[in-house]
A and B are shown apart, each in its own frame.
Chain A
Amino acid sequence: MNTTTLALIPLLPLLAAALTCGIQNGRRAASLAIAAMLGSCGLALAAFDQAWGMGLNEHITFNIPWLAVGDTAISFGFVLDPLTGVMTAMVTFVGLLIFIYSAGYMKDDRRMARFFCYLSLFAAGMLGLVLANSLLLLFMCWEIVGVASYLLISFWFHKPEAAAAGKKAFIVTRIGDMGFLIGILLAFKTTGTLTLYDNGQGLLELPISATVLGLKASAMISLLLFLGAVGKSGQLPLHVWLPDAMEGPTPVSALIHAATMVAAGVFLVARMFPLFDVSLVEDGTLKMSHVVAWTGAITALIAAFIALGQYDLKRILAYSTVSQLGLMMVGLGVAGVSVGMFHLLTHAFFKALLFLGAGSIIHGCHEEQDIRKMGGVWKTMRVTTLAYLCGTAALVAFPFTSGFFSKDEILAGAWATNPPVFWIAALASLLTAIYMTRQCMYVFPGTHRGEHTPHESPRIMTVPLLILSVFALGLGALAKDYLMDHLPPYKNPVAEHETIVIIVSIAVALGGIALGFLIYRSRALGQATDPLAVTPLVRKLWFDELYAATVGRLWALAIIIAEQLNELLLFVRDLAVLLADRIGNAFAVGGDRKLIDLLAFDGMCDRLRSAGHTVTRPQNGFLPGYLRLIALGAVALGLLVSWMK
C-alpha cells in the first residue's frame, strides 16, 4: 500500500460521483458507481490484509502538506492501521452490496442516475473520513457525508416531509458539528497540529498538559469532539433527526442511517480514544469515557422504549439503530476501542440486512410501511423473510449469531467496570428482543391485511440479502479474536466473562422473544389496540415537542429581538433625519428667512424702496399739485422771511 493506492479508495467513488452527475441514463450510472465501488472494495481488502499483519500500536501514515500559513502548517493524509483497515473493508463491502441492491430498488425512478451520484459522493466522503490522518480532513469528509445524507434523505423532494427531514437531519447534526469544530480549534490551539499520527508529533501522540475552564485540555477537546459524535450517531439529546431520516429511499437508510454514517460518531470516538481515556481533571478518577458510556446507556434504553410503540417498519429499525449505537458507545466507554468497534462491525452487517429486508418487504407490499397493514408476508416472500429473520436473530443477540458475541463483550465489560450501566444495557437488550419479536409477529405470520398481495423482490435485491445474512450469522465468531487482538486495549477477552453475564445475556434475548411471542400470539393484529403502543411511546416521548417549546421558542425570540433591534435602528435613523430636517428648517426659516431675508436683505430693500417711494411720490406730473406746492412753498417762504425779521 502506498499513498496512491490508499488515496484511490475514496477517490474512485468520488470520480464516479463526478462522472454520474452528467449522466442521464440510470443503468449506466449504476454500473459506473458499482464498478467504482468494486474497485475501491478490492483496494480496501488489500489494505485490510496489510493491516492484519500489523503489530500493536503500529500504523502507516502518508502526510501531504495542504496549507502553510506563516509558521503553521496543516497537512492532510491517510493512516493505515487495524482500525482503518477493518472500517474501510466494512464500508466498501456493505456499500457494494447496497449499491447493487439499489440498482434493483431504484430501477423505476426517473432520477436513478442522480441517486447513484449522491450515493457515490457519500461513499467517497465516508471513506475519506475513515482513512483521514488529520482531524481537519476527517471533519471535512464528515461534513461531506452530512451533505450527502441531506441530499439523499430529501431525494424524493416532491414530498414535503422528505424535504423537511433532510433539513432537520442537517441542522441537528450541525449543532453537534459546531462542538466538533470548536474542539478542532481547541486542539489546534493547544498542540499546534491537527495531524493524528506524525512520528511522535501528532495530536494523538503528544502529551497535552494545558487546562481549559478547569478541565484538562485533552478532556475538553474530547468532550467537544464527542458533541459531534452525539449529533452524527443520533445519541440523546440529538437523536431526533434519525427517525425522520427514514423518509429517504430504503437503501439510503441501510447504508447511511444504519451501517456507516451514523457509526461515524462511534468511529470518531474510537479514533480519538487516547484523548477520551484521560481523567477530566487533574488527580480525578472520572474520565471522558465514563461520560461516553453513560450517554450511550441512556440512549440505548430510551430509544429501545420508543421503538416499542412505533408502527412504521422503518422507524422501528431507526430507533433500534439509535439504541444499538448507544450500546456501541457503552462498549467504547466501558471496555475500549475493540469492544465498541466489534459491535459497530456486526451491527453494520445485520442492520444493513434488516433495512434492505425491510426495503424488500415495503417494495413487495406496494410501498406500504405500516406494520398494521402487513401480515402474511412469509407466504409469498420466502427469501426475504428468511434473511430478515437472520438479521433479527443477530440484533436480538440470539446465541451464536454475530450480535450475540459483540453484545456479550459489551455486557462483560460493563459488568466489570460499571454495574449500573450493565443493568441498563441488559434492560435495553430485553426491550430489543421484545420490539423485534413484535415487529416480526406483525409482518410475517397470519393473513395479509393490505390491499395488494405481496410479491417477492427480484434477484438483484435478494442476493445481497443472502450474502449479508451469512455475515450476520457468522461474522461474530470469525472477527472476534482478530479485533480483540489488534485494537486497543489489546486484551482477549477484554473482561472476564462471569457466569452471570452470560446467563443475563442469554436470558434477556430468549426472554424478550418469549415475552413478545406471548403478548402478540393470539391478538387480532392491526385491529385491536396494541398493549405496548401506549401514548408516550407512540408520541416518541414528546422530544420534538419539548424542543419546539424550549429551543425553538428561544430561537424565535432571538429572531424577534434581532428584528426589533433593527426596527429601533431604523427609528433612530428616521429620528436623526427628522432632527436634521428640523435644524435645517430652523436655519432656513429662522436664520435665512427671518434674519437674513426679512431683517437684513429684504428688509433693507423694502426700507430703501419705501423711502424712495416716499421721496418720489410728489413728482407725479400733476400740474395743479406742483402749483399747489409752489403756492404753499411761497406762503411758507413768506412766513419764514417775515418771522426772521
Chain B
Amino acid sequence: MITSLTLAPVVAAVLILVLPERRARSVALAGALVSLSLTAYLLTQFDLAAGGLQFSEKAEWIPALGIDYYVGLDGTNALVLLLSALLVTIVVAASWQHTDRPRTYFALLCLQFTGLFGTFTALNFFHWFLYWELALVPAFFLIKLFGKGEERHSAALNFFLFTVLGSVAMLLGFLFLYQQTDTFDFIELAKKGVDVSPLIFCAVLAGLWVKVPLAPLHIWQAPAYAAAPTPVTMLLTGVMSKMGVYGFLRLIVPIFPEQLKQHADALMAFALVTILWGAFLALRQTDLKRLLAFSSLNHVAYCILGVGALGIAADGLKVDAHALATQGIILQMFAHGLAAAGLFYLVGLLEKRTGLCDRNDFGGLSSVAPRFAAMFFILTFCSLGLPFMAGFAAEFLIFSGTFAVAPGVTAAATLGLLATAVFLLTMLQRVFTGPINEQYRSMPDLTRNEILILTPVMILIFWAGIYPTTWLEFSQKLTQMIP
C-alpha cells in the first residue's frame, strides 16, 4: 500500500511523457489524488491504540549487502505523510494554469512527489537516500527551467550544491555506520545503538542541517524560495523543509541518543540563533517571497529547538517535557506546512495578477479584494501564533516542552514570536491597508476555484488549532518510545 502510494506519481510521470501534452496536468492531478486517497485510507486504518510501526512492507533487495526494501508508517511520519500528500495535490491544482512546457513541468513535479513520499516512508537508509536525492533533482530543474528572473540559475545552483554537499557528508556518515553495524536499517540501527566519533555524528547532521535549514547553512533558502515558481516554493517550504526536521526525528533522536545528549545545548543554541536571525532578517525584507522565506526559516527552527530539548534529561519534572516537545514538533511541521504553503500560494496569485510582489508596491488591497485579504489575514495570524489555529497549539507544545528543560533559551526564543508579529503585521499594513493604489483598483478577487484550493488548508488549520488531539493521536504512543 505504501509502495503504491509512493510510486503512483512515477506512473503518472511516465504517462505524462507518453500522452499528449494537454493531458499532462490531469494525469498529474490523478497521480496526486491516488496518493492522497491511499494516505487518507491508511490513516483511517491506523491502529491508534497499538501505535508502533504499521503497514510495513519488507523485501530482500541486495542480500549480499544486507539491504532490504523496508517501508512503514508510525507516529513519526503519519502526519507529515498526510501533509505532503495533501500539499502535492494542492500544488498540482495551483499549477493548473501552467502553460510553459507542461509535459516537462508536470513530469518533474511528479518525480519530486515520489521522492518526498519515499523519504517519509522508507526505513532503510539505502533507498531512503535514493528518495532523498530524487526529491532534490527535479526541484533543481524546476527552479532552473521554470523559475523567475535571471537569479533563478544561481539560486538553483546554490540550492543544489548546498544540499548535495550535505547529502554527501550524510552518505559518508552512514557508510561508517554500516561498517560498524552491518546494517542500513533505521529500526535495527536504533536498536543496536551506535558508538561513533563526533565527526560521524556531524556528518549525518550536516545533511539534515542544510535541508531544514539551520543557520549558518541557510543562505540558499531565500533566493531559492524567491526564484522558484510559486507551486514549487509551496513544496519547498511546505514539505521539503520538513524532510530535514523529519530526519532529525527519524535518525538523530533514535539512532544517536547519546550524541544528542552531549550536543543538545549546542543544537538548541543554533536553533535559537536561527529563530532570531530569521525573524530579524525577515524584518528587513520588502519582497514578500523573501520575507516569507525568512519567516519559514524562523518557524521551522522552533522544531529543532524541540529536538534539542529531547536531548536534555527530564527526570523528576512535573510535566512530560519530552512528550510535549515531540508532539509539538510533529504538529508544528503540520501547521507550518499548511500555513506557509497557503501564504506562498496567495503571494503567487498576487504576483500573477499584478506582476509584482514587493510589499511597498501595494496598498489598500483589503477593499479591492476582500476575500483575498480575509484568507491572507487568517493565514498570517496562524503564522504568528494566534490561538485556536494550528500554529499556536504546536508552538505552545514545543515551548512547554523546551521551557521545562531549558527555560533561558526558551524565554529568549519568545523574542522571535514578537519579531514575527512585527514583520507580519507590517506586511499586512503595507499591502492591505492605507489608501488604494490606483494601479490595482481592478485587481480581481479570488475565484471560486482558488477558494476551493485553500479550503482544505483553512479547515485543517482551525481543526488542528481547536482540537489538536485528532492529529496528535497518531504520535501519542510514539512519545513513550522516545527516551
Contacts and interface: CB of A to CB of B under 8 A. Distances in A.
Interface of A: 21, 66-72, 136, 139-141, 143-144, 147, 150, 154, 157-158, 160, 162-164, 167, 170-171, 174-175, 178, 181-182, 185-186, 188-192, 558-559, 561-563, 565-566, 569-570, 573
Nearest to A566: B281
A71 to B, nearest CB: 4
B388 interface: yes
Contact of A70 (B374, B399, B479): B479
Interface of B: 216, 219, 276-277, 280-281, 283-284, 317-320, 322-324, 327, 364, 366-367, 374, 381, 386-388, 392-393, 396-397, 399-400, 403-404, 407, 410-411, 414-415, 417-418, 421-422, 425-426, 428-429, 432-436, 467-469, 472, 476, 479-480
B386 A67 contact: no
A144 B387 contact: yes
Dominant SS at the A interface? helix
B469 A68 contact: yes
Contact of B281 (A69, A562, A573): A562
Nearest to B158: A573
Given A69-B327, A72-B319, A570-B219, A136 B436 contact: no
Contacts of A561: 280
Nearest to B402: A185
Contact of A69 (B381, B388, B432, B479): B479
A562 B280 contact: yes
B318 A170 contact: no
B226 to A, nearest CB: 14
A565 to B, nearest CB: 7
A140 B465 CA distance: 11
B320 A72 contact: yes
B324 A144 contact: no
Contact of A163 (B319, B324, B434): B434
Given A158-B433, A181-B399, A559-B284, A69 B324 contact: yes
Nearest to B366: A157
Given A144-B388, A157-B434, A559-B280, A186 B219 contact: no
A170 B425 contact: yes
B320 A185 contact: no
Contact of A573 (B219, B386, B468): B219
A563 B284 contact: yes
Contacts of A182: 403, 410-411, 414
A143 B387 contact: yes
B422 to A, nearest CB: 6
Nearest to B436: A158
A70 B415 contact: no
Contacts of B428: 167
A160 B434 contact: yes
15 contacts: A66-B467, A69-B397, A144-B387, A157-B364, A157-B366, A164-B429, A181-B414, A181-B417, A182-B414, A185-B399, A189-B400, A189-B404, A558-B280, A562-B283, A569-B219
Contacts of A157: 364, 366-367, 432-434
A157 B386 CA distance: 21
A186 B403 contact: yes
A174 B421 contact: yes
A186 B407 contact: yes
Contacts of B388: 140, 144
A70 B418 contact: no
A223 to B, nearest CB: 13
B323 A72 contact: yes
A154 B433 contact: yes
Contacts of B283: 559, 562
A178 B387 contact: no
B403 A189 contact: yes
A141 B388 CA distance: 9
A563 B320 contact: no
B387 A139 contact: yes
B152 to A, nearest CB: 17
Nearest to B405: A189
Contacts of A136: 396
A66 B468 CA distance: 8
A209 to B, nearest CB: 12
B159 to A, nearest CB: 13
Nearest to A191: B318
Contacts of B322: 70
Contacts of A563: 280-281, 284
A480 to B, nearest CB: 36
Contacts of B476: 68-69
The residue in A21, A147, A157, A561 that gathers the most chain B C-beta atoms within 10 A of its C-beta is A157
Given A178-B414, A185-B403, A189-B407, A160 B469 contact: no
Given A70-B479, A191-B318, A158 B422 contact: no
User: Which of A139, A150, A563 has the most chain B CB atoms inside 10 A of its CB?
Assistant: A563
A140 B319 contact: no
A336 B404 CA distance: 32
B95 to A, nearest CB: 30
Q: Which of A70, A154, A174, A175 has the most CB of B within 10 A?
A: A70
A287 B415 CA distance: 28
B403 A160 contact: no
B367 A158 contact: yes
B393 to A, nearest CB: 8
Contacts of A566: 219, 277, 281
B385 to A, nearest CB: 8
A558 B387 CA distance: 28
Contacts of B284: 559, 562-563
For A21, A141, A559, the residue with the greatest tally of chain B CB atoms inside 10 Å of its CB is A559
Given A167-B426, A171-B425, A562 B277 contact: yes
A296 to B, nearest CB: 25
A198 B418 CA distance: 32
A532 B284 CA distance: 42
A112 to B, nearest CB: 14
Closest 4 CB pairs of A and B: A70-B323, A192-B318, A140-B387, A70-B320
Contacts of B407: 185-186, 189
B221 to A, nearest CB: 11
A562 B387 CA distance: 29
Given A139-B387, A189-B404, A71 B280 contact: no
